Structure 1
Amino acid sequence: MTLTTWQASWIWGEGEESPRNEWRCFRKSFKVPAGEEGSKGISLRITADSRYVLFVNGTRIGRGPVRSWPFELAYDTYEIGHLLQPGEMNTVAMLVNHFGVSTFYYLRGRGGLLAEVNDSEGHVLAATDATWSTSLHRGHHTRASRASCQQAFAEYVDASLWDSAWTQQAYDAADWTNSVVLGPVGMEPWTALKPRDIPMLTEETIWPVRVESLAKIKSFQVTATIDVRNAWMDGSEEHANRMQFLGYAATLIHSTQAGQATLGFLQSDGCFKALSLNGEWIDSGRIYGSTPERYVDVTLQAGDNLLLIDLSSDIHTGKLQIGLYADEGNVVSFQSPVANRDGQASDWLRIGPFDAVELLDHQHVRELEVEHPVYLEVREKLRKSADIHRFQDWIKPVDIKYVSEVDVFALSVWRKENIRYVVPAQLQNAVIPHAEAAVVPVFEGYDTEVLFDLGKEYSGYLTFEVEADEGVVLDWYGFEYMSGEYRQDMFGLDHTLRYVCQTGRQRYETPIRRGFRYIALTVRGALKPIKLYSVNMIQSNYPVAEVGQFTCSDELLNDIWEISRHTTKLCMEDTFVDCPAYEQVFWVGDSRNEALVSNYLYGVQDILKRCLRLVPGSKHQTPLFADQVPSGWSSVIPNWTFFWAIACTEYYEQTGDEAFAAEMYGHIQFTLQHYLDKIDDRGLFDIKGWNLLDWSPIDQPNDGVVSHQNMFLVHTLRVGARMARISGDQEGATTLDKAAQDLETAVNEHLWDNEKMAYIDCIHADGRRSDVLSMQTQVVASLTGVARGDRKAIIDSYLLSPPSHFVQIGSPFMSFFYYEALAKLGEVGRVLSDIRHHYGTMIRHGATTCWEQYPNFLENRANPDMLTRSHCHAWSSAPAYFLGREVLGVRSLAPGWTEIEVAPVPSGLTWAKGSVPHPAGGRIDVDWTVNESSQTMELHISYPKGIVVHANIPAGYTGIIRETMLELL
């Protein structure tokens, strides 16, 4: 039975409407009718703001909701009858995590839970109302650090303060309160509800493959993380846009004795311009380390030392992460320079902001007032605590909620001492299912670090089981890559977990998704060894079957195909996401390429359909459509919108779904009209925005005419015309075709350089023609058909032999388009050669997933050990697509794959075999072998009956084709 009406009400607890990082628990007990039929067909519908974890009689059965716009919030439905006891009281319980801030996958709403239990006839057994019990999760520390601008918060849980049995039916919730009814279904901000449109995500237990290392360590004695963005810029929780500001932070470093100390600053997003200690501004030459980690050695006087930090910067997340290490025997702490009268203030003062500007579409609304007189006066005259009264009109104690109780990330990545030991055999038990407990040793005066390797990167939920004394601290820190002594610490992402133990044996499962390969456990404050029974990752992704397969005579290509497959799978959550670690964000442009790869691996379509439908929801932010959705960052990358429109057409090609094509056409037509409004007097697309295509020094300014964008717009207008014809709008098709032709003519008139015989990268806003030539622009000119005739022949020659003075391709994402262009030219051998070179480098460095960038890209030049930022990025999974499409040779010739061709391109390989999913079900199996000496091929194909197959031996070969048609059920 599908239920469409609700009798439940939205509920929450007392207090703030949208509290910061609140974990709130809810319970309701109800009686199930007696008899064998009593529990059959009982279902539960649920949604929440922001995320929930659902339990029935103590059994966790789900997490959600899927990301969605608040004005069309998704809800989930679970069959729960098998978990209920007929004739008895039963309990449903929910943990709801309300973020209280906007992220890149969530727009700030307000705290809320909606749930309803129905029997098989639709009768209500339980529905959220004032009788539901609620309590704050008392073990959860709301002051955990922001994870990043893209995500919500890190995690800090004290198990001794909260009974983990709260989800059980027998739990005594007498000290809980009644919920507060907010309103009915349809209230703001959740004005419409939509049933979940994809299956539940998978859950698979992954064990580490080994204990990588054991060490005793010392780190900072004192740490702090301050959310500068939210503490300094009032109202900034409402959005995730970039901001620039002028301001300071001040605190006292209290030292029990005079001596040396080290200050560390570990943030990656600004908030550290300069600092002074006791009125002396520290020369930048004394600051060592490389961005983002910087350190300075200072001399502390006994007693109070005034620390003033100039935070002025351009920020997204906007955190100040600071650590302090002092000489042995010296006790140091941060203390407020002013009296804390109400207990709600922290040890830090906010001075300013003297000016703040929100950046929209990557453009300055106006310039900062960097010569603000009070900002400059503070720098000159704030030298001791007594001077603070001079600036009292600009000073405000930082609310304690913005200051994290500890910076676990800083403690995990910086070590004053790090002494490694041989890993004892018994400690390896921690990675063996059902083995005896592993004993983690303790070292007097030190903390103990145990580092686990999962063997490859995974994405999901960390779980562990330990036996320890109350108060023992377990700090968990996950990261993606290490090589020998080098660890690539994940600055800009705090996905740490601090867990404070209760007494005895205990198990914990985090509700927060993380992605990593390595997980470091640091044991702090233990007086005796702890017992570790298990460390697991619950791998969670969109449910797929491993339909697509590929192997060939080149083992390197086989390894590359496998890392492409694994990367794609990890980046299939409730939408396609860019990466499982740093962001977990549905980037619209990335998903176009990810979808094509997924088509050749898994053949699932619902995930792409929901991705494509989410994009137009951003029109309330911009009619040009946002580049990541649903998001609090109102940002446009024009190419990403173009790729979305192209992906809509490719979805139609994959499925033959004309109704969906017509649905999407209306949105494509809407946004393209707004893009056409940006055509200038020369007939060129000229816009202020994030005019991105590749991580390379190509000339792609955020204001002006960018060639690759103009070329992709030409192609997108033609795609729009095709969608118009599918939808029966011939007039619209004619209009869009003409706009495409006019723009193509303008591109060739203004962006071709006859002397250099190439397309220039851009025309700047001041009219200056770019003197930069890039492979990216030439690739797009060839791929989109903008280059024709003699120009195309010239451009295509560059694709075959890239000129050294052209800017070269800088990311696997851009390589996807390069490979598309080469494949259209029939140059599959060059595609494979490039894949072997670039992806082979990844393999040689131990990659188990595809990197975001190629090594030594521009952002990494300061750190040669850093091969890439993200080590798992699905926009880089191109090989799995091209090996299936070009080497196996399986290509669709008609919408819905009703007609296909199988035309392998050996390109030096002696054999290949594999499978490609058919979108209607089943698969196409291909197995070919060539004999180069005789120039012969044997080609075996099997495929579902009812599709038309054109099988072709490649030119220059003769051979045998064997076909097998499989019957349909």
Structure 2
Amino acid sequence: MKKLILTIGCVLTTVLLFAQNKATWIWYPGDFEVWLGNDMQNRRTERGTFFPPFWKMDSHYVLVEFHKEFDLQQAEEIKIHAEGKYNVKVNGKMLPGMPGSLKLEKGKQKINVKVYNQAKVPALFVEGKQVNTDKDWLVTFEDKEWIDETGKASDQSGTTYVKAGYWNFQNSAQRPSTFKLPTRYEESVASTKQGKGSLIDFGKNTFGFLTLHQLKGNGELNIYYGESKEEALATTTCETLDLLSINQQSAQDSTLDLSKAFRYVYIEPKGNVSFDKVSMEYEYLPVEDRGTFKSSDEELNKIWEVAKYTMELTSREFYIDGIKRDRWIWSGDAYQSYAMNYYLGFDSETVKRTILALRGKEPTMSHINTIMDYTFYWFLSIYDYYQYTGDKEFIANVYPRMQSLMQFCLDRRNADGLMEGLSGDWVFIDWADGLSKQGEVSFEQLLLCRSLETMALCAELLDESADKAQYAKEAAQLKGKIFDYYWNEQKGAFAHSRVAGKQTDQVTRYTNMFAIFFDYLSANQQKAVKDKVLLNDAIQKIMTPYMRYYELEALCALGEKDYVMSEMKSYWGGMLKLGATTFWEEYNPDKKGAEHYAMYGREFGKSLCHSWGASPIYLLGKYYLGVEPTAAGYERYTINPYLASLQWMEGKVPTPAGEIELAVSKKKITVKSPIGTGTLQLKSKVTPRCKQGKVVKTGKDQYSIELKKDTTYEVHYEA
């Protein structure tokens, strides 16, 4: 199996577990995430025009009932806060008005609070010494309570309750509806006169709210943004702009209301409008950079740092695709962001928020983002989340939504039991010229198969034995069809698709490379795919970092880490040589000059800061530092470091309990872990020496050492 924060004001922290008797705001699970996702994704503009997402947008439940039972050791007074109108019942008795506080007697007490809010998420905060809102409160969007003609209330037997959603709003004044990311002041680095205006340079790609200092006058102020100088100066074709009317007699600092992405800003004043200088309020998601990487190769170090900054910019309320253009939550982009996050910030809360926002609400009417493959990536992301975090509670909470989404997929299979694009479905795969999406594409069947296996694994985790058996059976049957229908022995590869029941001649990299790290292929089949597809220049090359990520992962899994290191330096290093300060949505080294900025038929359509461009973080952490969990939450893990062309490297890989620290040279490895039981795997020309652990020979020049937590191991060997 491919291993498979929140502010009011300026404070944001990640909280996984709440202290006992610590109150927090609660809501129906997923509702805050859906509401916040709607708010964020509808901030996009294109040349000043509102540009919303094109998929179905869900909303929160407007009426929610919360309850919990207590056995109080003593009487107490509790305080009640809600986002919306509410009523309160204690032991089934309705209280008058909307009490902000009430006294509870000693003994058994059942508290029910029903909250209504059309505009914002119905949320509840109850605080006392013994009674506090927390993740164990139960909620429902329909309590099915009715009163018959005798005045007797129903027994509510038909009501489905689930555990409350929460984050870390742990103060009554920290209302969820007031959420904002923090900002900090940043200066521009240069300002030059250009034509009728001024060109402002902030030195690198950035994101936030532009501030014009001592702005005054009557007239207009036209602001053109660019990730490149060329874009900012292209007043008729740049992607984003602000056209402002100014009527300000006294000079004052003015910060714009809508955040933008840019490196350069070209500003043209008209009339007698003037300003002194330009700065910005940089908006960010505060997440500690727990993962680190440094090596003897300065270019590689620069690649890692730029990848880290790219990840910083595309980590917002959720993991988004690119900061300039879409600013939307795309499942395929997010799936890669999760993986990079596990080797950088290990920010579990943003992963969960993004997964919930992508899933949305019932009923399911289309694929996630309307894209078939993006639905399947959503399934894969959930088991990956568990593997890295060990958070079984989240799996249990999201499992019903997994079931309904999987049933939606299974119901859309054709007569042969395969996925084929139906009306309204987008079969994406990748941005590639001439890539056929017709018929039954093998890549989609492969992702569905892995999604079914993920369902079986999650069902097993939750002791749902019947579900496990059914999903495992479906996965096995589909896997058989994939080999029967698509494997071409002569070509040593999976065909790209079937059309009208017949295998097509086209071979692409996608299905073949995923089959490698899904471990679906025999040794002979792996070798065939490696030679005839992945290392074959006759097969259409991949130009997006999105799929280069998977291609290089497949090659790492095949032992081609020297080749991958060279490719990583060439591809991402190529962008650096062109002056990239963040990594791009697409990179073709054959393009020249401003050609690099064009995409989607638009002169500056390409995103120059795109989440999937940050994949070196994941590749370096997993395949060169070599750290990977083999049991949930790093209960067990392996470290298999690989220097490739490096003389030395060092880094930290985050886990739920702290960071695994690793330093590797050609003669010495030092490692320390705060968690679980690990296995250090290494290749050495001589028998390694380690005073802190037992060295075990596992093959020719292959050795392993078991690692206990909180122990520093020094291993002397010869690479």
Residue 259 of structure 2 corresponds to which residue in structure 1? 513
Question: How much has 1:745 moved relative to structure 2?
Answer: 1.3
2:34–2:59 CA contact under 8 A, matched in 1: no
2:85–2:117 CA contact under 8 A, matched in 1: no
Q: Secondary structure at the match of 1:502?
A: strand
Structure 1 position 695 matched with structure 2 position 431: yes
Q: For the residues of structure 1 that align with 2:528 and 2:399, how far apart are their CA atoms?
A: 35
Quick one: structure 1 residues 107 and 677, their matched pair in 2 at CA, closer, same or farther if it must change by over 3 Å?
closer
Residue 457 of structure 1 corresponds to which residue in structure 2? 205
Out of 460, 478, 481, the residue aligned to residue 225 of structure 2 is 478
Q: Secondary structure at the match of 2:360?
A: helix
Out of 952, 962, 967, the residue aligned to residue 681 of structure 2 is 952
Q: For the residues of structure 1 that align with 2:256 and 2:232, how far apart are their CA atoms?
A: 28
Q: As a proportion of its length, which structure holds more strand?
A: 1
Out of 195, 206, 209, the residue aligned to residue 189 of structure 2 is 209
| 1:600 counterpart letter in structure 2 | Y
Q: Where does structure 2 lack aligned partners over 5 or more consecutive residues?
A: 1-22, 41-48, 63-76, 87-113, 125-164, 170-179, 600-605, 693-707, 712-719
Residues 393-432 of structure 1 mapped to structure 2, 5 A cutoff: none
Residue 368 of structure 2 corresponds to which residue in structure 1? 626
| 1:915 counterpart letter in structure 2 | K
Question: How much has 1:124 moved relative to structure 2?
Answer: 8.0
Structure 1 position 796 matched with structure 2 position 505: no
Residue 721 of structure 1 corresponds to which residue in structure 2? 456
Q: For the residues of structure 2 that align with 1:109 and 1:733, how far apart are their CA atoms?
A: 31
Residue 466 of structure 1 corresponds to which residue in structure 2? 214
Residue 843 of structure 1 corresponds to which residue in structure 2? 576
| 1:451 counterpart letter in structure 2 | L
Q: For the residues of structure 2 that align with 1:554 and 1:489, how far apart are their CA atoms?
A: 40
| 1:884 counterpart letter in structure 2 | G
| 1:893 counterpart letter in structure 2 | T
- When structure 1 is superposed on structure 2, of 191-200 and 636-645 the one drifting more is 191-200
Residue 902 of structure 1 corresponds to which residue in structure 2? 639
| 1:478 counterpart letter in structure 2 | Y
Question: How much has 1:843 moved relative to structure 2?
Answer: 0.4
Residue 167 of structure 2 corresponds to which residue in structure 1? 197
Quick one: structure 1 residues 853 and 805, their matched pair in 2 at CA, closer, same or farther if it must change by over 3 Å?
same
Question: How much has 1:660 moved relative to structure 2?
Answer: 1.5
Residues 83-232 of structure 1 mapped to structure 2, 5 A cutoff: 102-103=52-53, 107=57, 122=79, 186=116, 188=118, 192-193=122-123, 197=167, 201-211=181-191, 213-216=192-195
Q: Secondary structure at the match of 1:517?
A: strand
Question: How much has 1:813 moved relative to structure 2?
Answer: 0.7
Quick one: structure 1 residues 490 and 778, their matched pair in 2 at CA, closer, same or farther if it must change by over 3 Å?
farther
Question: How much has 1:210 moved relative to structure 2?
Answer: 1.7
Q: Secondary structure at the match of 1:846?
A: coil
Residue 415 of structure 2 corresponds to which residue in structure 1? 681
Question: How much has 1:707 moved relative to structure 2?
Answer: 1.0
Q: Where does structure 1 lack aligned partners over 5 or more consecutive residues?
A: 1-42, 48-64, 75-98, 113-119, 130-183, 217-447, 628-635, 931-936
Residue 871 of structure 1 corresponds to which residue in structure 2? 608
Q: For the residues of structure 2 that align with 1:873 and 1:553, how far apart are their CA atoms?
A: 27
Aligned length: 563
1:683–1:742 CA contact under 8 A, matched in 2: no
Residue 771 of structure 1 corresponds to which residue in structure 2? 505
Q: Normalising by structure 1, what TM-score?
A: 0.53
Residue 662 of structure 2 corresponds to which residue in structure 1? 926
Structure 1 position 539 matched with structure 2 position 539: no
Structure 1 position 591 matched with structure 2 position 325: no
1:917–1:923 CA contact under 8 A, matched in 2: yes
Structure 1 position 672 matched with structure 2 position 420: no
Q: For the residues of structure 2 that align with 1:489 and 1:480, how far apart are their CA atoms?
A: 13
Q: For the residues of structure 2 that align with 1:490 and 1:940, how far apart are their CA atoms?
A: 56
Q: For the residues of structure 2 that align with 1:656 and 1:126, how far apart are their CA atoms?
A: 32
Quick one: structure 1 residues 545 and 865, their matched pair in 2 at CA, closer, same or farther if it must change by over 3 Å?
closer
| 1:791 counterpart letter in structure 2 | Q
Residue 250 of structure 2 corresponds to which residue in structure 1? 504
1:541–1:570 CA contact under 8 A, matched in 2: yes
- Partner deviation per Cα, 1:381-415 (whole Å, 9 max, x = no partner): xxxxxxxxxxxxxxxxxxxxxxxxxxxxxxxxxxx
Q: For the residues of structure 2 that align with 1:834 and 1:807, how far apart are their CA atoms?
A: 16
Quick one: structure 1 residues 584 and 548, their matched pair in 2 at CA, closer, same or farther if it must change by over 3 Å?
same
1:579–1:870 CA contact under 8 A, matched in 2: yes
| 2:189 counterpart letter in structure 1 | V
Quick one: structure 1 residues 654 and 771, their matched pair in 2 at CA, closer, same or farther if it must change by over 3 Å?
same
| 2:34 counterpart letter in structure 1 | S
Quick one: structure 1 residues 189 and 784, their matched pair in 2 at CA, closer, same or farther if it must change by over 3 Å?
same
Q: Secondary structure at the match of 1:891?
A: strand
Question: How much has 1:710 moved relative to structure 2?
Answer: 0.8
Q: Secondary structure at the match of 2:439?
A: strand
1:478–1:495 CA contact under 8 A, matched in 2: yes
Q: For the residues of structure 2 that align with 1:889 and 1:651, how far apart are their CA atoms?
A: 19
Q: For the residues of structure 2 that align with 1:500 and 1:822, how far apart are their CA atoms?
A: 57
Question: How much has 1:789 moved relative to structure 2?
Answer: 5.1
Question: How much has 1:104 moved relative to structure 2?
Answer: 5.7
Task: Work out which structure has the larger RCO, using CA pairs closer than 8 Å and 6 or more positions apart in sequence.
Answer: 2
Residue 258 of structure 1 corresponds to which residue in structure 2? none
Q: Secondary structure at the match of 2:239?
A: coil
Higher-Rg member (1/2):
1
Q: For the residues of structure 2 that align with 1:625 and 1:799, how far apart are their CA atoms?
A: 30
| 2:336 counterpart letter in structure 1 | N
- Partner deviation per Cα, 1:845-903 (whole Å, 9 max, x = no partner): 1111110012279xx89973536610000112110111122222222222111222222
| 2:185 counterpart letter in structure 1 | T
Out of 727, 750, 753, the residue aligned to residue 485 of structure 2 is 750
Q: Secondary structure at the match of 1:953?
A: strand
Q: For the residues of structure 1 that align with 2:262 and 2:123, how far apart are their CA atoms?
A: 33
Quick one: structure 1 residues 800 and 566, their matched pair in 2 at CA, closer, same or farther if it must change by over 3 Å?
same
- Partner deviation per Cα, 1:344-363 (whole Å, 9 max, x = no partner): xxxxxxxxxxxxxxxxxxxx
Question: How much has 1:526 moved relative to structure 2?
Answer: 2.5
Question: How much has 1:646 moved relative to structure 2?
Answer: 0.7
| 1:661 counterpart letter in structure 2 | I
Q: For the residues of structure 2 that align with 1:722 and 1:187, how far apart are their CA atoms?
A: 38
| 1:614 counterpart letter in structure 2 | A
| 1:494 counterpart letter in structure 2 | T
1:940–1:962 CA contact under 8 A, matched in 2: no
Q: Secondary structure at the match of 1:573?
A: coil
Question: How much has 1:699 moved relative to structure 2?
Answer: 3.4
Structure 1 position 783 matched with structure 2 position 514: no
Question: How much has 1:203 moved relative to structure 2?
Answer: 1.6
Structure 1 position 825 matched with structure 2 position 558: yes
Q: For the residues of structure 1 that align with 2:39 and 2:333, how far apart are their CA atoms?
A: 24
Q: For the residues of structure 2 that align with 1:879 and 1:554, how far apart are their CA atoms?
A: 14
Question: How much has 1:664 moved relative to structure 2?
Answer: 2.4
Quick one: structure 1 residues 466 and 46, their matched pair in 2 at CA, closer, same or farther if it must change by over 3 Å?
farther
Q: For the residues of structure 2 that align with 1:957 and 1:514, how far apart are their CA atoms?
A: 56
1:72–1:193 CA contact under 8 A, matched in 2: no
Structure 1 position 494 matched with structure 2 position 255: no
Question: How much has 1:756 moved relative to structure 2?
Answer: 3.1
Q: For the residues of structure 2 that align with 1:824 and 1:646, how far apart are their CA atoms?
A: 18
Q: For the residues of structure 1 that align with 2:521 and 2:542, how far apart are their CA atoms?
A: 19
Question: How much has 1:467 moved relative to structure 2?
Answer: 4.4
| 2:352 counterpart letter in structure 1 | K
Q: For the residues of structure 2 that align with 1:959 and 1:808, how far apart are their CA atoms?
A: 41
Quick one: structure 1 residues 818 and 943, their matched pair in 2 at CA, closer, same or farther if it must change by over 3 Å?
same
| 2:186 counterpart letter in structure 1 | I
| 1:214 counterpart letter in structure 2 | K
**Percent identity among equivalent residues?**
24
